[in-house]
Structure 1
Amino acid sequence: MKKALQYLISLAVASVLVWFTFKNIDLHTLWEKIKQADYRWVALSAVLALVAHWSRAYRWVLMLEPMGYRPSVFRTTLAVLVGYGANLIFPRAGEVARCGTLNKLEGIPFEKSFGAVIAERLIDVLVLLVLIFLNLILEFDRLKEVFFNFFGEKFKNPLLIGAYAVIGILLLITAYFVFKKNQTKIEQNAFYQKIAKVIGGFASGFLSVRNLKNPTAFLFHTALIWVMYFIMTYVLFFALPETANLSPIAALTIFVMGTIGMAAPTQGGIGSYHFLVGSIVVLYGLSQQDGITLATFLHAMQGMVFVAIFGIIAFLLTLILPNRGINT
């Protein structure tokens, strides 16, 4: 029931954003421009996307090694692709789907691989923060009004924020002392023991990044993933005449905003991606119509078509591949 409610709320948010973004857009013109795009650039972007997904899978393998697992990079890539496909249906379900798929194909315990996924997601957040900071430095004059207007409302009342922080800290302290007082009784509870085992597995996977056997390869693939993400976005600009002259810095801005949009809790970033990218593109001289056209084209190719095709193929392959069991 709770998951169904979350799904409906996510769908409602996406629907509102789609309506708000497209309400003044000529959909016939948008469709005609997308049909006339140069799809050779789309093919190149698809190849770059596969490189990025393979690199993400390889990095995942590197994170599983310290725990004694060395799964096939090919099968791990399939698990990654299945996970991305699952995100099109249920937001944030991709991590669960990819770990479940890897368990099916390689027998690696779910909680172990999931812990590694949590660690890699945190690393990706750090990379994104670096990109946001770099983007603000390079495009400060252009972006300052947008960001200050947005964040200004959030931090309008610092006293209220401080009060919330104090209340949160007090609640955590209270919870800690309640736990310590009843620790022995709580630890004997079967449900607690089950949760503790799962959390232990998560922690093992999460902390595996500290014991990497090849940290140089890990850093290389982290960089490669994000470089491929950027280039696969940038090359799609050349598919549309209206955006072919946008600079790499403009592409960085659009890429960063699009990444934030894709991270929003909506199905495959629908609505949130279009709103953020469509809004930011006008800063580079494009009309609202052309901005939404670009956002729709980028999202359709990268966030829907590539993910759906790769995800379906990967899922079908997982149905015929045998389980190799735990690979240590």
Structure 2
Amino acid sequence: MSSRLKAFIQYAIIFVVTIALIWFSLQGLSEENKWQYLKDTWQSANKAWLLAMAGIAMLSHVLRAARWRMLMVPSGHHPRLSHSFYSLMVGYLVNLVIPRGGEVSRCFNLYRLDKTPVDMSFGTVVVERIVDMLCLLILIAISFAVESEKLFQFIETLPIGKPGDRLPIMLLLYIGAACIVFAVTAFLILRRNEKLKAFMTKTWQGFKQGLSSVFRLENKGLFIVYSVSIWLLYFLMSYTVLQAFPSTNALGFGAVLSLFAIGSIAMAAPLPGGTGSYHVLVPQGLVFLYSVPQSEAVAFTFIFHGWQTAIMIVGGAISLLISSYIVRKKNS
């Protein structure tokens, strides 16, 4: 089977699963005209809060671009903040089509703009992801500390396996076996192909240089401030959206924490922008934890996720156009 056919099958499966989950979520709308109900919910929203959320989102992206740029400085590369921001937004746009594809595409876009080595910048992206994972785990821990009883009850309702169930164990064994087979195959290929071995060695050196950048930062305190600020802004984004709708504006900060934890679980699914998994889990959380009516919870989730996606599409498309213009101008 060719690699193109495998990729096509993979994305076809992702597309089918996404559509199926969205369809399943829409069944939570008891109204006959579902799209009209979503439209009415949108019209009832406080647009000032939604615009505030858009502004907070863009500020978080600027801080993320500044933090990413900061990681590249120890390796001797000083891309412009604007170029880092454009590349970051292009990555978000690609992520909506290809799950996790934006991490690589933003590195290529930055190379087009500033000739920053892709292998090195990708190493800094991995550092970013590790730091973000730590921040996310801290926020989830805070969420469970504040709303532990409700969240544990919610998790028990999810079909993720019961104690004594062999499915998770078998899944781990299959994943482990697949990793061993992949590692052995890669080793044999590299051992016989000197050109590929040299390329991989060079790529690994650049990647390692990017990974070690966090230990060579001149101002580690500023890096921590950026990281904390980014996640505080993410929290404020969720808060402003809850305030925008009559059915959720009285839920309070505890609900924001719960929504954050549930949304993080949903976004971990390998689907474009968490589409589908987010639309299923978040309404269930709102209904189960805070007694929000099913239809209102589903409509809220669709508009929340749709508004986030619209911001990324507009910002990513504009950034892609600006990047292309800069590259053409340099080449001419």
TM-score (norm 2): 0.87
1:220 aligns with 2:225: yes
Partner of 2:16: 12
Alignment of 1:50-199 (within 5 A): 50-150=58-158, 153=161, 155-157=163-165, 161=169, 168=176, 186=191, 189-199=194-204
1:284 aligns with 2:290: yes
C-alpha change, 1:149 and 1:174, in structure 2 (3 Å) is same
In structure 1, C-alpha distance between the alignment counterparts of 2:71 and 2:203, rounded to whole Å:
18
Q: 1:43 to 1:200 in 2, by over 3 A?
A: same
What is the letter of the counterpart of residue 87 of structure 1?
Answer: N
* Distance in structure 1 (CA, Å) of the matches to 2:323 and 2:216: 30
Q: Return 5+ residue gaps in structure 1 as ranges.
A: none
1:260 CA drift (Å): 3.0
Q: Provide the C-alpha distance between the structure 1 equivalents of 2:79 and 2:104, rounded to a whole number of angstroms.
A: 17
Deviation at 1:160, TM superposition (A): 7.8
CA root-mean-square deviation = 2.9
Residues 1:257 and 2:262 are matched in the alignment: yes
Match of 1:240 in 2: 245
1:30 offset after TM fit, Å?
2.5
The match for 2:311 is 306
What is the deviation of 1:256? 2.3
CA 1:99–1:135 in structure 2 vs 1: closer, same or farther (change >3 Å)?
A: same
How much does 1:214 deviate?
A: 1.2
TM-aligned CA deviation for residue 131 of structure 1: 1.4
Q: Report the 3-state secondary structure (helix = DSSP H, G, I; strand = E; otherwise coil) of the residue aligned with 1:49.
A: helix
Structure 1: which amino acid aligns with 2:70? L
Displacement of 1:129 after TM fit?
1.4
Deviation at residue 207 of structure 1 after TM alignment = 2.0
Q: Deviations over 1:102-121 (max 9, x none)?
A: 10111001111111101111
The count of corresponding residues between Structure 1 and Structure 2 is 320
CA contact (8 A) 1:107 1:323 kept: no
Q: 1:261 to 1:191 in 2, by over 3 A?
A: same
User: Tell me, which stretches of 5 or more residues in structure 2 are unaligned?
Assistant: none
* Aligned residue number for residue 200 of structure 1: 205
CA separation of 1:259 and 1:159: change in aligned 2, threshold 3 A: closer
Matched, 1:296 2:302: yes
The answer on whether the counterparts of 2:161 and 2:168 sit within 8 Å (CA) in structure 1 is no
Between stretches 54-63 and 19-28, larger displacement belongs to: 19-28
Shift of 1:63: 0.8
- C-alpha contact (below 8 Å) 1:258/1:277 kept by paired residues: yes
Q: Is the 8 A contact 1:106 1:324 kept in 2?
A: no
- 8 Å CA contact 1:105, 1:324 repeated in 2: no
Deviation of 1:242 (Å) = 1.1
How far the C-alpha of 1:141 sits from its partner, in A, is: 1.2
CA change 1:19–1:114 in 2 (3 A) is same
- How high is the sequence identity, in percent, across the aligned residues? 32
CA apart distance, 1:204: 1.7
Decide whether aligned partners of structure 1 residues 186 and 99 sit closer, same or farther in structure 2, where only a CA change above 3 A counts. Answer: same
Q: What secondary structure is seen at the aligned counterpart in 1 of 2:99?
A: coil
Kindly provide the amino acid, as one letter, of the partner of residue 217 in structure 1: L
Deviates more, 1:199-208 or 1:127-136: 199-208
